Every structure is written in structure tokens, then in C-alpha cells.
Chains A and B, each alone.
Chain A
């Protein structure tokens, strides 16, 4: 076939008729109709009692519960992350005692159910009625108190959640540290940086790229896992709060919907946070960072506008 050259001596751009995909349209229609019917029946089911949902959604008790859930998540994740970094660095230490202790910790906390740990910490008074800090092996004490007053339900919840999280974070941080090229260590050491400085300024910032995505998952997980504290009955997180409410008014489903909606809202906020964190720690790995949703919106608008304005004119 003879190619017809345009005025610049270059063949014309190809303008081909695209392949039609009728199967795609059919599948999309069926799925949409099915989803819409499920949604419609759910929203129109009188037993969902959306009025009750509305009454409780912004009630002070539920909002307090949401706040407690956020506090439990944030504090336990922060302590868990700090513990995880310490354990991961210990795991790579040249000191065999530190290595073994770190291994043992991870083995212990990953190997027992969190629910068991929660109940265990809550009942620690049965094992140690008195808690004291001071000189070990029976020396003088700096601090001591009855375990029942020191380890309240809230303290037990924080202990169980953050100590357990530490074990999981340790593995995530370790994977991150191992992902950094050995040449980075050598280059930093050759410049005269100490091992601590190398970790702090060279290895950890690069490990973060690998650490952040699973940590985001862990945080979302933690948000939902905090609901386990309902077994203690005294920590007024979101789930415990709605349970206490429906125990009194028997509106089980609408109140569970209230809790679910709040959990969904909170995890959605975390999604957004995770996206921007990953962007930040991706610096230097890709030549061009992917656009933020806002930049994407603006770009899409610019692309759309001239075409349609052109048509109007």
C-alpha cells in the first residue's frame, strides 16, 4: 500500500476504527442492576430503622466512642511502630543476646491470639498482685502499687494492642531495612558516618518506602482491631458504646450500622493519608511522582474544557 505523505513529508497519523466490546457493556449492565437492587432493598428495608440511625449517629456518646477508638488506634500504632523499629534493629544487631531476645518477643506475641493477650493483661493482678519498679531481685523500689489500680481496663487495652503491634511492626521494619542496598551502607560508612547516623540518615529513610504501605494496612487493621476491647466491658470505644446502647434499647441493627458507618469513615480518612505518605517517601525512586487526586482533577478539567468550549463556539 502506498503511504500518502502530508505536507511535512510525514505519513498521516493512524485513525483506526476501535474494536467494539459488547460483552463488556452487557457484564457492566448486569452487575450495575444487581448492585442497585441490593442497595435499594437495603436502604428501603424498614427494619434497618434509618430514623434510629440518624438519632444516634451524631449523639455525644457515639462521638465519645469514636474519639476513644481513634485514641486507641493512634497511641497503640505509635508505640507499636517505635517498638517495631527497636526490635528490628535489635534483630540485625551484632550482639547475639539482643538478636535472640528480639526473636523471642516476636515469636511470643505473634504466636498468641490478641484476644488472649487482652484478657491476660486485664487479669495480670492474679499473677502479680503488686507491681513495682526498682532495683531488681528484691532491692528497694522506686514505684509500687496494687496491680488492680495500676492496670485498669484502659491500660490493659493499650498494653495488649501496642505490645502485639510491636511484634508485627518489627517484621515490617525488618523487611524495609533488608530492602535497602548494601552499597548504601558502604557509601555512608566510607564517608565516615557512624552506624547510628547511617541508620538514621541513609537506611531508614529509604526503608520507609517499603515500610509505609504495610504500615498503612496495619493502621487500618488496628482501627478495626481496637473493637476487641469490648471483651473488657469498661473501655468505651465505638463498638462497646453502641453495644451498651442497644443493650438498653434493643435497636441492635441500626446501632451496628452506626458503628459500621463510623468505621468506614475513619478507614477512608486513613486511605487518603496513606496515599500522601507513600508519595512523600517515594521521593527519588521514580523520576516523576504520580499526580495527586487534586492535580488529576485539574488536568482532566483542562483536557475536557477546550474540546467542549470549541464545540460551543
Chain B
């Protein structure tokens, strides 16, 4: 990556939500991301497809700094992720600044990761109360509204173990939305679900996309990508193989690796 674009380009505010330039990530000797260049506009829905081990989940985790990148530049809404630039030097952000940046990026995990010792309502209320300092009554009202929105208005007092996988994932989406995020990251949100439960989660996500939420979705659901995505990105072995609007990538792929992958999943 000798030809990094000028760093000044990162600070643009306005239309770009996520900007990745030459993003590299290594785990020890294993290079998982080998130079990712991507842009996600505000309000855009991007679906990232690719075989397992292609680095798509790692890239998603880099966006909210669950993983630190090793080289390149990654910014969300004009702010570098995990670092701040003073002159020529990058400074590591303090923990509390990282936390506050994360609080505006919602994340939904493959395995839901709901807090099992809290009810659905308490799961949604926790971050608004502890991070935003919202009162209990206000948080509860917000939780009720969000649970209603994902179709679980009557399950607020259930513990995660009492909910189906699809219901749990919808609670997880409500929990992420409770922080009023400007960007939502979905890491294979339907991969751990029984086939008949996939639809209810995708419906919630589709509604979210319609309302103009900026979303990056790592998924194997080609149908969802076709219907909801503005951009589809195909990744393999740590690089972006091709990207574009869903029709061109999914119906008329240019690269052999994309063609092979699409044939295998469909």
C-alpha cells in the first residue's frame, strides 16, 4: 500500500459515513485483511458477501474498533476509528473516547449476545441508562417503543432463554437501536437461526433500511442483498473482489471467484 490517498480526505463531513482506505489487519502472522478500500454513504445499505475466512466479519469488527487495524485508514462519519490525528502522528484514543464513539454504532452479532440475566426490556434499557445517563422511566418508554417496533411489544419481561432465536435477534436489534445509532453493523445476523425464523429478522432489517438507516450487513442471504442492498461487496481472502449495485454483482458477476461463490450458495 505505497499509494495511500492523502490523509486530509478523511475529515470530510457530510455524505460519507464509513471510509476505508488500504485497511490491513493481521492476527500474528496471518494477514486477514489485505488492503480494503470502501466507502459507505449516509443512508446506504451495503451487503458484504464472501466465503467464510474471507475477512468480512473482521472488517465489520474493525469499524467499531473491536479489532484494531494494523495499517491504512478507517473513519466513521469523518472521525478516525480508534485514533486521533495530531499533526503527523496518530494517537491511540482513550478508552472512554472509544466507548463514546462505539455508542453511536449499533452492532448485531451472529450469536445475539443478549445479556441472559436480564429481561428483554432490561437488555434494551441498559445502555441508555448507563451510557447516555437517561432516567429509568424514559429508558423504559424507549425500550417499549423499540420492542414494539421489532414486533415484541408483549415480550419485554421474558428472559432471553424464554425466547426463540429469531425473537432474541430482534431484541438484539432493538438493543442496538436504543443508542440511536447513526450506523448499524450486522454480523451474519441470521446464520445461527433455524430457517423458518430467518424471515422475521430480515423483515425488521428491511424496514430499518427503508427508514434510511445506514447499514453494513455481512450475510449469506442473497435474497436479502438483492431486495434491500444499495451496494453489494464480494470479498475473498482479505480483499474486495468486486462491488457494485446488487444487479450487476449478483446477476452478472465479472470475477470467477464471485461466480463460483454465488453458484455454491444458491
Once the chains bind, are B113 and A197 in contact (CB under 8 Å)? no
In the complex, A186 Cα to B95 Cα: how many Å?
14
Once the chains bind, are B99 and A205 in contact (CB under 8 Å)? no
In the complex, A40 Cα to B139 Cα: how many Å?
65
* Cβ 8 A contact of B99, one of A189, A283, A285, A286: A189
Given contacts A186-B66, A284-B159, A284-B160, contact A191 B113 (CB under 8 A): no
| B101-133 vs A, Cβ < 8 Å mask (1 yes, 0 no) | 011111101010111111000000011001100
Q: How many A-B residue pairs have CB under 8 A?
A: 76
Question: Within 8 Å of chain A (Cβ to Cβ): is B179?
Answer: yes
Once the chains bind, are B175 and A284 in contact (CB under 8 Å)? no
Question: Within 8 Å of chain B (Cβ to Cβ): is A287?
Answer: yes
In the complex, A287 Cα to B176 Cα: how many Å?
25
What distance in Å separates the Cβ of A224 from its nearest Cβ neighbour in chain B? 32
Question: Within 8 Å of chain B (Cβ to Cβ): is A187?
Answer: yes
In the complex, A313 Cα to B126 Cα: how many Å?
57
In the complex, A287 Cα to B116 Cα: how many Å?
11
Once the chains bind, are A192 and B115 in contact (CB under 8 Å)? no
Once the chains bind, are B118 and A284 in contact (CB under 8 Å)? yes
Once the chains bind, are B113 and A192 in contact (CB under 8 Å)? no
In the complex, A186 Cα to B114 Cα: how many Å?
11
Number of interface residues of B (CB under 8 A): 32
What distance in Å separates the Cβ of B63 from its nearest Cβ neighbour in chain A? 10
In the complex, A206 Cα to B208 Cα: how many Å?
32
What distance in Å separates the Cβ of B157 from its nearest Cβ neighbour in chain A? 12
Question: Within 8 Å of chain B (Cβ to Cβ): is A294?
Answer: no
Once the chains bind, are B131 and A285 in contact (CB under 8 Å)? no
Number of interface residues of A (CB under 8 A): 24
| A168-200 vs B, Cβ < 8 Å mask (1 yes, 0 no) | 000000000000010110111111111101000
With a cutoff of 8 Å between Cβ atoms, the chain B residues found around residue A190 in the complex are 64, 66, 102, 105-107, 176
Once the chains bind, are A284 and B126 in contact (CB under 8 Å)? no
With a cutoff of 8 Å between Cβ atoms, the chain A residues found around residue B115 in the complex are 184, 187-188, 202, 206
What distance in Å separates the Cβ of B234 from its nearest Cβ neighbour in chain A? 25
Given contacts A191-B176, A193-B99, contact A284 B127 (CB under 8 A): no
In the complex, A183 Cα to B66 Cα: how many Å?
11
Main secondary structure of the interface of A (DSSP, over half): helix
Once the chains bind, are A191 and B103 in contact (CB under 8 Å)? yes
Once the chains bind, are B102 and A206 in contact (CB under 8 Å)? no
Once the chains bind, are A194 and B161 in contact (CB under 8 Å)? no
Once the chains bind, are A193 and B127 in contact (CB under 8 Å)? yes
Question: Within 8 Å of chain A (Cβ to Cβ): is B15?
Answer: no
With a cutoff of 8 Å between Cβ atoms, the chain A residues found around residue B66 in the complex are 186, 189-190
What distance in Å separates the Cβ of A195 from its nearest Cβ neighbour in chain B? 7
With a cutoff of 8 Å between Cβ atoms, the chain B residues found around residue A281 in the complex are 117
What distance in Å separates the Cβ of A307 from its nearest Cβ neighbour in chain B? 33
Once the chains bind, are B130 and A201 in contact (CB under 8 Å)? yes
Once the chains bind, are A194 and B96 in contact (CB under 8 Å)? yes
Once the chains bind, are B116 and A192 in contact (CB under 8 Å)? no
With a cutoff of 8 Å between Cβ atoms, the chain B residues found around residue A189 in the complex are 66, 99, 102
B103's nearest neighbour on chain A, judged by CB, is A192
Given contacts A183-B113, A195-B95, contact A201 B162 (CB under 8 A): no
With a cutoff of 8 Å between Cβ atoms, the chain B residues found around residue A187 in the complex are 107, 109, 113-115, 172
With a cutoff of 8 Å between Cβ atoms, the chain A residues found around residue B127 in the complex are 191-193
With a cutoff of 8 Å between Cβ atoms, the chain A residues found around residue B175 in the complex are 191
In the complex, A283 Cα to B159 Cα: how many Å?
8
Once the chains bind, are B113 and A184 in contact (CB under 8 Å)? yes
Once the chains bind, are B126 and A191 in contact (CB under 8 Å)? yes
With a cutoff of 8 Å between Cβ atoms, the chain A residues found around residue B161 in the complex are 284-287
Given contacts A192-B103, A194-B99, contact A285 B116 (CB under 8 A): yes
In the complex, A190 Cα to B62 Cα: how many Å?
11
In the complex, A188 Cα to B64 Cα: how many Å?
12
Question: Within 8 Å of chain A (Cβ to Cβ): is B100?
Answer: yes
What distance in Å separates the Cβ of B98 from its nearest Cβ neighbour in chain A? 9
Once the chains bind, are A197 and B118 in contact (CB under 8 Å)? no
What distance in Å separates the Cβ of A208 from its nearest Cβ neighbour in chain B? 8
With a cutoff of 8 Å between Cβ atoms, the chain A residues found around residue B107 in the complex are 187, 190
With a cutoff of 8 Å between Cβ atoms, the chain A residues found around residue B172 in the complex are 187
In the complex, A181 Cα to B115 Cα: how many Å?
10
A183's nearest neighbour on chain B, judged by CB, is B113
Name the interface residues of A277-298: CB closer than 8 Å to any CB of B.
281, 283-287
In the complex, A206 Cα to B161 Cα: how many Å?
14
* Cβ 8 A contact of B162, one of A186, A193, A194, A287: A287
What distance in Å separates the Cβ of A150 from its nearest Cβ neighbour in chain B? 40
Given contacts A286-B161, A287-B161, contact A193 B109 (CB under 8 A): no
| A191-233 vs B, Cβ < 8 Å mask (1 yes, 0 no) | 1111101000110011000000000000000000000000000
Which of the listed residues A183, A187, A285 has the most CB atoms from chain B within 10 Å of its own CB?
Answer: A187
What are 5 A-to-B residue pairs whose CB atoms are below 8 Å? A183-B113, A190-B66, A191-B179, A192-B99, A195-B95
Interface residues of B (CB under 8 A from A): 64, 66, 95-96, 99-100, 102-107, 109, 111, 113-118, 126-127, 130-131, 159-162, 172, 175-176, 179
